[in-house]
């Protein structure tokens, strides 16, 4: 199977004659010997210059080509953060193949969904068990996560043919949770990748001497586009870690003189208790302006709002731009922003409503939800504005502040999770009649999922809560598994709908009870 986009991009788009591989190749004439990528720990560390990294990408592309990967071929990238992830991703771009970026913590059921949807027969993974899931006629390569380099995939780069860049072609698929029971496959073009790199660099004010620490997962747009591609666009250096490490954060930051990274509540929770050393950080990505973070860490904030479908940051502010405490920022110049109230009118100052974003499909907005034309069409209003499902407030300054998600979504340690996605699995557990999943507040992860269940009939098993947990653990990524399951006789309802706001309040009250009674150990919070 091949994936192609027949999406027509306006002829005056800014990336004619370029593709995603150009993000790297444009640096070779002047930055060939400059550090491009740094990987590893103090015990195992390696640095690639732009020249050596491009050479390894070419070798990876040759290896993929020798295995039958060509234009439009979907390649499942099931990898934790590593040089291999970036080499395979750029190699796909070099060949015109499509990198299908999946969560490294996906369950086998979630992987089967991605494989079936995209028709993938080529897999690069850290997990040897995944190889057996892709069916006959397929191939897979297992990358040792401790090394993080897919040298077994290298081929003879001299045999590669020149491919004319085409920014309208598909470059990758990013999976994102929405209000549906399955994550949606967001299709990006090469022009999307170039846009994400260029605009993110411009919004954040990145410079060629910047050193970006990346520990957020590369299978998400924030780490791949906002941090990595944007840094490569300006010829900077990416310091890549497999995941966030509290014990190594300051050591790595100081040793490599990092200037940029992303802020998350977990960082403050575990690193904020440590002494803050002298550092070179200029700015961190954050969800809003928060003066206490700036003061604690002596760093400016680049506050932003975004989601996979909008590629980069339609709303942002740098410290000193005039955004007040708690504000996200101001609309970016290349996006049109509207805030529509519940009555259908546009919001004035001090009003709130749903955030709508308009841009150019295939450039500043995603191409489509792959394999789902109906959902793609429903995501836009009659005027071509993308319905984000997020509610914001218009401040008198013109800035916007986040209010809530109008969609039934959870934010678990930075991962967007649809409540319905978890509810689908809970309902498939024998003995469950009805289910409702909500987020419970969590110091480290912001919120975690908990489930309320109405048993089916009077003969439900006495260990139904444990069975729900077990079933979810088998079918879902670990961060989606409910931390607690409460069996109830009925749900609070409003106009025949489950009143989830009341369930959330109930979940937080039950958590306190569980802590005091010692029962919380049955469903421990993530560390």
Sequence-ordered alpha helix ranges (H) in 32-185: 50-66, 83-95, 108-118
Q: How confident is the model over 37-75, as pLDDT tens digits? A: 999 776 678 999 999 999 999 999 999 999 999 999 999
* Length of the chain (residues): 527
Query: Is-contact 311 346, C-beta < 8 A?
Result: no
CA distance 243 to 479: 15
Query: Can you give the pTM of this predicted structure?
Result: 0.85
CA distance 165 to 194: 12
498, 305, 347: which is closest to 420 by C-alpha? 498
How far from chain centre, in Å, is Cα 517? 36
CA distance 206 to 202: 7
Helices 419-427 and 464-475 cross at an angle (nearest 10°) of 120
CA distance 114 to 105: 13
Instruction: Put residue 197 in one of left, alpha, beta given phi > 0 → left and psi -120 to 50 → alpha.
Output: alpha
Query: Is-contact 224 218, C-beta < 8 A?
Result: yes
Quick one: pLDDT at residue 40?
Answer: 76
Q: Which residues of the chain have pLDDT under 50?
A: 515-527
Comma-separated ranges of CATH 3.30.300.30 domains in the chain:
410-522
Quick one: pLDDT at residue 497?
Answer: 66
Comma-separated ranges of CATH 3.40.50.12780 domains in the chain:
17-250
493 - beta bridge partners?
Answer: 498
CA distance 234 to 27: 8
Helices 108-118 and 464-475 cross at an angle (nearest 10°) of 40
Q: How confident is the model over 409-431, as pLDDT tens digits? A: 888 887 888 888 898 889 888 88
290, 287, 292, 289: which is closest to 313 by C-alpha? 287
Quick one: pLDDT at residue 523?
Answer: 32
SS3 456: coil
Query: Is-contact 506 465, C-beta < 8 A?
Result: no
CA distance 460 to 489: 12
Q: How confident is the model over 319-370, as pLDDT tens digits? A: 889 999 999 999 999 999 999 998 999 999 999 999 999 999 999 999 999 9
Give the CATH H-level superfamily of domain 410-522: ANL, C-terminal domain (3.30.300.30)
Give the CATH H-level superfamily of domain 17-250: ANL, N-terminal domain (3.40.50.12780)
Residue 411: count other Cβ atoms within 10 Å of its Cβ. 17
């Amino acid at each position: 199977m091949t994936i192609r986009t027949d999406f027509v991009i306006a002829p005056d788009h800014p990336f004619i004659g370029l593709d995603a591989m150009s993000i790297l190749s444009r640096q070779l004439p002047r930055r060939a010997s400059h550090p491009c990528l740094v990987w590893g720990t103090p015990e195992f560390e390696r640095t690639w210059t732009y020249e050596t990294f491009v050479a390894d990408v070419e070798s990876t592309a040759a290896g993929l080509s020798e295995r039958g990967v060509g234009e439009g071929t979907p390649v499942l990238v099931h990898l934790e953060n590593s040089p291999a992830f970036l080499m395979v991703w750029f190699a796909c771009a070099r060949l015109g193949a499509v990198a299908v970026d999946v969560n490294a913590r996906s369950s086998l059921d979630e992987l089967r969904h991605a494989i079936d949807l995209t028709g993938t027969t080529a897999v690069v993974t850290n997990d040897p068990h995944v190889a057996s899931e892709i069916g006959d006629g397929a191939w897979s390569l297992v990358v040792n996560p401790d090394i993080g380099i897919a040298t077994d995939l290298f081929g003879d780069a001299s045999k590669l043919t020149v491919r004319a860049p085409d920014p309208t072609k598909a470059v990758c698929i990013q999976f994102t949770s929405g209000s549906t029971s399955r994550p949606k496959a967001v299709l990006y073009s090469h022009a999307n990748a170039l846009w994400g790199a260029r605009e993110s660099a411009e919004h954040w004010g990145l410079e060629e001497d910047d050193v970006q620490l990346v520990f957020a997962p590369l299978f998400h747009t924030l780490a791949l586009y906002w941090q990595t591609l944007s840094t490569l666009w300006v010829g900077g250096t990416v310091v890549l870690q497999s995941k966030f490490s509290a014990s190594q954060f300051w050591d790595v930051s100081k040793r490599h003189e990092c200037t940029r990274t992303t802020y998350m509540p977990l960082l403050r929770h575990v690193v904020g208790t440590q002494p803050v050393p002298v550092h070179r950080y200029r700015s961190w990505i954050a969800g809003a302006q928060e003066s206490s973070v700036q003061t604690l860490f002596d760093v400016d904030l680049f506050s932003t709002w975004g989601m996979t479908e909008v590629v980069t940051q339609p709303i942002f502010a740098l410290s000193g731009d005039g955004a007040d405490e708690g504000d996200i920022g101001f609309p970016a110049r290349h996006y049109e922003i509207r805030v529509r109230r519940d009555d259908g009118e546009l919001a004035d100052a001090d009003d709130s409503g749903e955030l709508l974003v308009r841009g150019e499909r295939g450039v500043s907005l995603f191409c489509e939800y792959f394999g789902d034309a109906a959902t793609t069409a429903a995501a836009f209003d009659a005027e071509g504005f993308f319905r984000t499902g997020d509610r914001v407030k218009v401040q008198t300054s013109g800035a916007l502040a986040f209010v809530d998600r109008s969609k039934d979504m959870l934010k678990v340690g930075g991962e967007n999770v649809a409540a319905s996605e978890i509810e689908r699995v809970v309902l498939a557990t024998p003995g469950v009649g009805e289910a409702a999943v909500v987020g419970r507040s969590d110091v480290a992860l912001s919120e975690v999922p908990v489930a309320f269940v109405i048993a089916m009939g009077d003969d439900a098993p006495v260990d139904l809560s444990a069975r729900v947990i077990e079933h979810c653990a088998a079918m879902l990524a670990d961060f989606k598994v409910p931390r607690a399951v409460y069996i109830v006789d009925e749900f609070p309802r409003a106009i025949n709908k489950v009143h989830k706001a009341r369930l959330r309040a109930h979940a937080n009250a039950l958590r306190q009870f569980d802590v005091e009674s010692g029962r919380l150990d049955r469903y421990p919070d993530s560390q």
